[in-house]
Amino acid sequence: MDNQTLSSIFQRHFGEVPALVAHAPGRVNLIGEHTDYNQGFVFPAAINFGTWVVATKRNDDKIHVIAMDYDNQENQFSLSDIQYDNEQSWSNYVRGVVKVLKAAYADVGGANLLVTGNVPQGAGLSSSASFEIAILKVMSTLYDLHLDGVKAALLGQKAENTFVGCSCGIMDQLISAMGNEGKAMLLDCQSFAIEHSPLPNTHQIVIINSNVKRGLVDSEYNLRRQQCEQGASLLGVASLREATMDMLETAKVHMPDVVYRRAKHIITENQRTLEACEALKIGDMTTVSKAMAASHVSMRDDFEITVPPIDYLVEIIDEVLGSSGGVRMTGGGFGGCVVALAPTDKVDAVKHVVQEKYFDRTGYHADIYVCNASQGAFAS
């Protein structure tokens, strides 16, 4: 939807011309899964699906927000009394973000907001972080807060951790804020150092939503975190970022097998992520292909977060791509999406094999999105 249409809709609801329209992208993680909360490396790209927020200031301390994607539901609250809303759960992303922003910047005032997005929800493409960063962008612009992308990402993460109640890492918010068009972003989740790597213009990002609803998510996600923390503790390191395979093999005899395998995934995934980033810089798709394939096997066998329909998608797409591209599960796991880096001339073949085989095997219909790497909300 273009800005002019959104402005007209805003004017119809609020009776005034909006001051601005802000956009924040969703993301897909190319490689580096569950490494973020272990202070490791991730390699996401911002995608051309996201959240738009249309806004004006108010002359009181009220936030009045309309969600186009929820049948124009309206939600209002006062900046002086921001409580969790059990009725309209979508509003808690706005409430949480505004609460942490107000605590950091006293100058934040009221606003009229119209929100819409096209990131598939529940698919593991981070519609929530896109929503948070778009709200932060609009509020920081309205109130001239000079908020940078890293601070915005930390505030978005804090809102999700402390108000919404999901213990996510920093990756989703940071790529939505700081992604670069045409590039993936290597993020060091320990130092927040960012390095952008050009994606080959011969390839496209293809996201296949398995439409297996992520049944996890919170209990298994939190269990994986605990197992990783147990592994780090048994290895005597602050986080698995500090661990090596030599250390892990030496300690294996003293570890529960499940903790060993969880730690093995994280340690090897960090290495794969660095290798894939370096390989992409020189156009070495064979190495990228191997790294993505090994990542999927590790998620399936060591971290145990894939499901059979996802494994089948990876299998049939890999048969099409071979070493010319890569494919793996992406996101938290237990459903959600597969990501492929596919040569442009093989995208149709990927679509075809999914449409031809996936439903017959699994009973699920897949949705396919061909994406470009896009600009983050706070990227210059």
Maximal CA-CA distance, the chain: 69
| Tokens 């892990």, located at residue | 248
Q: Could you give the 3-state DSSP secondary structure of residue 373?
A: strand
Torsion angle of the four alpha carbons 348, 346, 270, 267, in this order, in degrees rounded to the nearest 10: 90
Burial class (CB in 10 A: 0-12, 13-18, 19+), 341: buried
Show the tokens assigned to 246. Answer: 């030599």
Sign of CA dihedral 146, 82, 216, 190: positive
Q: What Cα–Cα distance (Å) separates residue 160 from each residue in 93, 153, 297? A: 7, 11, 30
User: CA 9, CA 61: separation in Å to the nearest integer?
Assistant: 23
The one catalytic residue in 172, 257, 301, 348 is 172
Instruction: Based on the residue annotation, tell me whether 318 is a catalytic residue of this protein.
Output: no
Asked if 150 contacts 174 with a C-beta cutoff of 8 angstroms, the reply is yes
Question: What is the DSSP secondary structure assignment for residue 120, as one 8-state letter?
Answer: P
Q: Which residues pair with 187 in a beta bridge?
A: 42, 194
User: CA 18, CA 112: separation in Å to the nearest integer?
Assistant: 9
What is the DSSP code string of 80-118?
TB----SS-TTHHHHHHHHHHHHHH-TT---EEEEEEE-
Instruction: Give the list of residues 6+ apart from residue 239 with CB closer than 8 angstroms, or none.
Output: 38, 39, 40, 190, 232
Q: What Cα–Cα distance (Å) separates residue 51 from each residue in 6, 14, 143, 375? A: 12, 20, 20, 13
| Tokens 């919404």, located at residue | 164
Kind and range of the H or E element at 194?
strand 194-198
- Which residues have a catalytic role annotated? 172
